[in-house]
Amino acid sequence: MDDAGRGISSAGRRRHGGRSRHAAARGARLGRRAAVAVQPAGQSVLQPASVTTRLSCCDRADEGSRVKPLTEQDIRGSFVNATDEQLARLPIPGIHETLWDEREFLGWRDPQASHLGYIVHWMHDRPTGIVLRAASGGLRPGIAAMCSFCHSSQPATQVRMFSAPRAGDAGRNGNTIGSYICDDLACSLLIRIVPPHAQSSEHIAERADALLTRVHNFTATVMKTA
């Protein structure tokens, strides 16, 4: 848990509007793409309200990333820390509804196994996926917390500790990397929900670039097996 304890703002104890207001803001921004179908392997299509689709992108010469849609095959073959069992039951998000040019990574929660989440992004020109396990206990309501990916400050109930098994033997031996991340793994959406005074394309591009860098760093740490 390298980052355990990080991201909680003890200074931000003001009360927020709670999940409903936050969800409403997202819903207003998301509009037509708010409902995303997730199809677990071998099962019928589900439409859980909490599942959000998003995706990966960004033209970063240093990382080799670029805006490029992911196929189901890309997603299934991308995971570096998944068990065979997890891959067999992997739910595929609604990639056909995804606005790829507004995503730094594709992130979604598992509607059948609520403790699991998944992120996939392009890294060195390859789709790279990470399985995340959500901590069972949430943060204390009434305080503010910050997502370590998108750096958005928000009610603590909307941020959760996730742990990712390291790739390879380290992960099989129980070695994990932990970080506080938006509960719905929808960072790409959140950074695009901004106050009017900050609603410049440059500002969003800066946040998107920073978000992608942090996601890359997280994945690189998960993949570091030495």
Any idea what the Cα angle at residue 107 is, between residues 106 and 111, rounded to 5°? 130
Task: Give the residue closest to Zn ion by C-beta.
Answer: 147
Query: Pattern 32-71, binding to Zn ion, x per CB under 5 A?
Result: ----------------------------------------
Whole-angstrom Cα distance, residue 72 to residue 153?
A: 32
Contact call for residues 102 and 192 (beta carbons, < 8 A): yes
Q: Is 119 in the site for Zn ion (CB under 5 A)?
A: no
Q: Is 182 in the site for Zn ion (CB under 5 A)?
A: yes
From 56-64, 116-124, 147-155, 200-208, give the range in contact with Zn ion by CB under 5 A: 147-155
- Residue 182 pairs in a beta bridge with 159
Q: Is 180 in the site for Zn ion (CB under 5 A)?
A: no
Nearer to Zn ion, 36 or 150 (CB): 150
AA identity, residue 190: L
Q: In the Cβ-directed half-sphere of 21, how many Cα atoms lie within 13 Å?
A: 7
Whole-angstrom Cα distance, residue 35 to residue 43?
A: 18
From 36-44, 70-78, 136-144, 177-185, give the range in contact with Zn ion by CB under 5 A: 177-185
Q: Is 189 in the site for Zn ion (CB under 5 A)?
A: no
**Binding-site ranges for Zn ion (CB under 5 A):** 147, 149-150, 182, 187
